[in-house]
Chain A
């Protein structure tokens, strides 16, 4: 590798990483946190078999999973203004990523809830707890343990999917890289570099996942046999 490549990479490293720390990571974490809330509520509504809400939940999942994330971003950012709804780029991205991931994770969580033996729900109700109390204190913690690896998978996916936010003018890592490429005409080096930074972030998350699973197992949260 000649020196100019190395110095270009070193020069641009911080310039690309900075929006990564300021945009990509907050965008991912905020969106994923909201997505988990949406997903849990959506899963519970279906489990509780509340008539109208349940159909709404199915409809939401159907629409979101059946349309491209990029299209959803465009509808919210470029489409809604014609209805007079203007949302800043960053909040618009958080909104779309949360709603999108919420639909996928809702299914993950619902499946995990259904994997917890029903008898524990009956036992909870028999000691006088309400359905919601039993769900919240007994079933969900076990379901989340089961869902943990899949949810983490989604989180890792989302880190990379945030690059789509460049299309709605969020200055995250990928857009920043495009800007530097426009100035330096070094697409190969710079796009590989940004790829490496994504890879680094995801590697850290993979480590966090392994650590988290170990912690959860130590607390007796094993997939129960009974």
Chain B
């Protein structure tokens, strides 16, 4: 197993509030890591920090063998890292002035200078994969939330990233629409895509994640193979959280 991402002692505070109090983790190729935890535990901040959408105050990131200073990475370094990663947002963030297929092509044509025809073929291929081929020429505003998120996932995978960060990808969706998004993510996981998923979907975490991380108050409370964390948690707080969340599923 090769390590694709490793970070150490990531710290971040907003004013007086310490959101991340020294977080570290190692992610192997093909891992699907579910990051669970109550709201305000720092999950999203961590994910955003790993992609430099948020600047950590300190810490180090090793991605694909290259070391980055989580606080002081240069624009050039950040761009290099982003070329090999992808991010799926809670509220999709599709480009509103572009059609579905154009949304997927953008990262290829503009950022990677792929020829237009080639990019279009690739974009249509990924749209087909997420079941959105028939909607290729629709604008985001014409799509449902679940459809928008599937296009966003197509946009993420079109550039062949080494890892995809998912920030609560189904939290903004109506319950009946989460299934279509989760099933796309499940397929990706089965194909060996490395994924870091901040989520509240306990069922998804249990079924799909190879490893589960439980965060609370800016620290990792517990981390391990999903089955272990869910069935034999070492920490009482983990147990309580899982019980509480799974209760909600009924």
Contact = CB atoms under 8 A, between A and B. Distances in A.
Nearest to B106: A127
A141 B148 contact: no
Interface-centre pick from B87, B95, B159 (highest chain A CB count, 10 A)? B95
Contact of B107 (A116, A127, A142, A226): A127
Interface string A114-131: 001101101111111110
Nearest to B86: A126
Nearest to B53: A122
A220 B111 contact: no
Given A129-B111, A226-B91, A220 B159 contact: no
Contacts, number: 85
Given A222-B96, A224-B140, A226-B96, 18 more contacts: A117-B93, A119-B91, A119-B93, A123-B89, A123-B95, A124-B95, A125-B53, A126-B87, A127-B106, A127-B156, A127-B159, A128-B159, A137-B106, A138-B97, A142-B97, A145-B97, A224-B141, A226-B93
B139 A220 contact: yes
B94 interface: yes
Interface string A190-226: 0000000000000000000000000000001110111
B98 interface: yes
Nearest to A141: B97
A83 B182 CA distance: 71
A127 B155 contact: yes
A225 B95 contact: no
Contacts of A55: none
A129 B109 CA distance: 10
Contacts of B87: 122-123, 126
A167 to B, nearest CB: 42
A138 B95 contact: yes
Contacts of B83: 128
A142 B96 CA distance: 8
Q: What are the 9 closest A-B residue pairs judged by CB atoms, nearest first?
A: A127-B107, A128-B111, A220-B139, A119-B93, A224-B96, A123-B93, A126-B87, A128-B83, A129-B111
Interface string B46-69: 000001010000000000000000
B197 to A, nearest CB: 16
A133 interface: yes
B106 to A, nearest CB: 6
A137 B105 CA distance: 12
23 contacts: A120-B93, A120-B94, A122-B93, A123-B87, A123-B94, A126-B86, A126-B87, A127-B107, A127-B155, A128-B111, A129-B107, A129-B110, A130-B79, A137-B106, A142-B97, A220-B96, A220-B99, A220-B142, A221-B96, A221-B97, A222-B141, A224-B140, A226-B93
